[in-house]
Structure 1
């Protein structure tokens, strides 16, 4: 068969993701903070977009204020006369001298009332008091605090350079994470010089920084208090036994009795294992819910979007029509048309995003009615696919909608992803159980156990199967227990015995 070129027509359907469609999909997974930042950027770029200030579009301008009557009260006349009186600085400038020579008491009065001086030099023309945040002292960064001390402790430029690299190797807790051998090779310095600089920096404030482990951090603080004796060193070397609550083995390793061990533990509790956290701490940001869920008067659940987090933008079509009539440049007309299309797309996408969030939230509330009514023990297993099939959406769309979104319920504030949990089969043929509900039941069993009856993972699995028909393996119980930072049965038995003796 001979090969020859030929023309061939085919007709097929395909989904093409336009840039605007991709942007609409991306808007779904943005949090309200990220969404407001995106809208602010669009407002700067697009002259046809403007924020809605609460008034209706096209609302008439307020009528002009009528002129005042010529009849003025005695109080108003006094106020206006006071406004015409110049301040001390203006009068002194007119005489080409200082305020002290004209008004000797004015300087002392300004010192007692610095607000008046700030008002004259600052923003008093608008009648507004200065922002109090301008007078709040900024907290120094940990790196800046340590660099200032290093410049006083170290004399040579080489040592200061090493100190700067060591400071850069600190994490937020104040621990040194840099590899000293690699740093020695990078700077071409002797390891002994780096160790000497490190030893000097370990005496900086806050005490305990530049440690490479928790025992070393505690040792630096104890050395500063002159309490690092051989018994305390032995305690720090065997601090793992303290985490396991193996007090008998710890007393044997340290060589002390119970009273001495209690005194040393009391001193350790006074130390700060993370000294660097006193710095670089930003303000705590509160989580703002995107959806409110309330019980209605008829007993049904009411789902409402938090309108405070939704940006409101309008398309100024009057401005578009006015500018379009006056422009003759094709490039300018194309720019305006593109801005109008982008503005229409943004308003439509924001409305569609809000409706999608509300639709997904309503389905979550419908399926998790038992949790909202009775608590976590009634949390049902739910997947993204279950919600997507019910509301006729794609699974990926539900995943994007529930990302970085929070729901305020009578049970508390939860991330929308929280309600999606895996299912654990039931041994009696009943409905599946939520993994989160199983974790909650495991914690309840462990909290209620007695010192004479510590439950092992196998025992917990048997209790779950016997009481609630939850078919869960021992290794699954262990995984859930470790995920909740609950120690094993051996360590829990030691903890309860120590608490009983105490």
Structure 2
């Protein structure tokens, strides 16, 4: 069979992901902080993009002041040049310069004192403590017309756990060799302040005596915060109790049997500790006051405040007003006049045309992003109207497909919009993902229920139970079935464990002990 080349004409459809389309998709799922950074980078590299000024009038006044200052500096420079060249200056301006180097030169050459005799006319001093200005008028910067200060100048820098402990080392370990061992152990602490390193391996690596390692570790465990350098939870609690002088034999037995405490096995704990029920509950109260993670107070990263993207308010007619938060809306302008004036040059026309195309695409993408967020948020509010009016018990089951079909968009688009976006409602601040929950089946023809609403109902039932009538998982299943919720016992147990709620046996022991001590 002979091979030959043939030419055919054929039509086909395909989805092409252009770079701009991919960037538009990424803009949908960006947070406010990420979007601000992205826009700042675009403004920096695109000469046609700029941020809008906050107040045009203020900017004009500032520009006039800067022009006046530039004119004054020019006159001063001219006077200096005239004076340095030997030109005799017979004007009234020379005495105004009795300041700095000019004043010192005239003092030497004219044998006179031209220092500033009116110090109150100078630049007002900055405030040393701005929070005390209203209380102490005599402090620097406390008078009227004081120079504006920057609050960032008065913010204390964040100290890490490692730096905080390093500052205390010279006071407990003055020896250089011990300090080197201690610094190595400080570097191996985790974020909670626990030491998971093997002292034998550390001693072998450093060439130190194991006894010295134990002595250095004992000294490090006396540092602040209490409980740091512990190797497990029991040792952490023991260190804190020793510093409070409460580590007696009974407390030692309690700390050594934390697994019994987790199971609320009070009968065995009373026998091991040799105390009655009242003393045991007092000891439990002291344990609850301790910090199981002593290093958690030192943040490893920078915490960011959550800003809502959508604000929901109640209207006068009983409906809901859904608005985009103006503080999170990106603001960027395209300078068309700059393009018209500069693009006349043939060499720069192609570059500026590309910049104009990218700028217009960015503004359209940001506008489309805002419209898409508004559509999704409005549909969520319409679907969850009962939740906004009555609370979590009336949260409806909702999925992405329902919202996508209602607003005529794809599920993936709705998923990107609801990622890391927050809505401020009269019920509080919620992530948009919060309103999408699994549906729980109802009893014979009833309406389905939201999984979050069911978890809230289980939590409420357990909080309202009495010591004599602690609800088991089977009891909770029966109560939910009477209220129209069909749920298996293993699902109730899974929800209860996810909410960190103990079993019915453990809750019964704890509540009966507390009721007995309270005299009920």
Q: Do the structures match in fold with TM over 0.5?
A: yes
Q: Are residues 1:398 and 2:414 paired?
A: yes
Evaluate the alpha carbon distance shift between residue 312 and residue 284 of structure 1 in structure 2; reply closer, same or farther with a 3 A threshold. same
Q: Distance in 2 between matches of 1:142 and 1:11?
A: 66
How far 1:384 sits from its partner (Å)? 0.6
Q: Secondary structure at the match of 2:311?
A: strand
TM-score (norm: length of structure 1)? 0.81
Evaluate the alpha carbon distance shift between residue 256 and residue 11 of structure 1 in structure 2; reply closer, same or farther with a 3 A threshold. same
Q: Are residues 1:254 and 2:269 paired?
A: no
TM-score (norm: length of structure 2)? 0.78
User: Which of residues 426, 447, 455 is equivalent to 2:471?
Assistant: 455
How far 1:495 sits from its partner (Å)? 1.8
Evaluate the alpha carbon distance shift between residue 11 and residue 441 of structure 1 in structure 2; reply closer, same or farther with a 3 A threshold. same
Q: Are residues 1:37 and 2:45 paired?
A: no
Q: Are residues 1:323 and 2:342 paired?
A: yes
Q: Are residues 1:311 and 2:326 paired?
A: no
User: Which of residues 371, 376, 380 is equivalent to 1:364?
Assistant: 380
Q: Distance in 2 between matches of 1:26 and 1:367?
A: 27
Query: Residue by residue, what CA displacement relative to the aligned partner does 1:40-62 show, whole Å, maximum 9, x if unpaired?
Result: 11111111101123679xx9999
Evaluate the alpha carbon distance shift between residue 450 and residue 154 of structure 1 in structure 2; reply closer, same or farther with a 3 A threshold. closer
Query: Residue by residue, what CA displacement relative to the aligned partner does 1:211-265 show, whole Å, maximum 9, x if unpaired?
Result: 1222211211233344433322211101233333332221111122345435544
**Which residues of 2 match residues 9-158 of structure 1 at below 5 A?**
10-53=10-53, 115=127, 128-151=147-170, 153-154=172-173
How far 1:459 sits from its partner (Å)? 1.5
**In 1, are the aligned partners of 2:388 and 2:427 still within 8 Å (CA)?**
yes
Mark the runs of 5 or more structure 1 residues left unpaired by the alignment: 66-80, 108-112
Q: Secondary structure at the match of 1:309?
A: coil
Mark the runs of 5 or more structure 2 residues left unpaired by the alignment: 66-92, 120-124, 131-139
Q: Secondary structure at the match of 2:347?
A: coil
User: Which of residues 411, 430, 446 is equivalent to 2:427?
Assistant: 411
**In 2, are the aligned partners of 1:88 and 1:106 still within 8 Å (CA)?**
no
Q: Distance in 1 between matches of 2:389 and 2:308?
A: 20
Q: Secondary structure at the match of 1:496?
A: helix
How far 1:334 sits from its partner (Å)? 3.4
Q: Distance in 1 between matches of 2:216 and 2:6?
A: 78
Q: Distance in 1 between matches of 2:436 and 2:483?
A: 24
Q: Which residue of 2 aligns with 1:446?
A: 462
How far 1:356 sits from its partner (Å)? 0.1
Q: Secondary structure at the match of 1:414?
A: strand
Q: Distance in 2 between matches of 1:384 and 1:201?
A: 53
Q: Are residues 1:349 and 2:368 paired?
A: no
**In 1, are the aligned partners of 2:98 and 2:114 still within 8 Å (CA)?**
no
Bigger Cα displacement from structure 2, 207-216 vs 196-205: 196-205
**Which residues of 2 match residues 202-217 of structure 1 at below 5 A?**
202-217=221-236
Q: Are residues 1:244 and 2:279 paired?
A: no
RMSD: 3.9
Paired positions, count: 465
Q: Distance in 2 between matches of 1:102 and 1:253?
A: 88
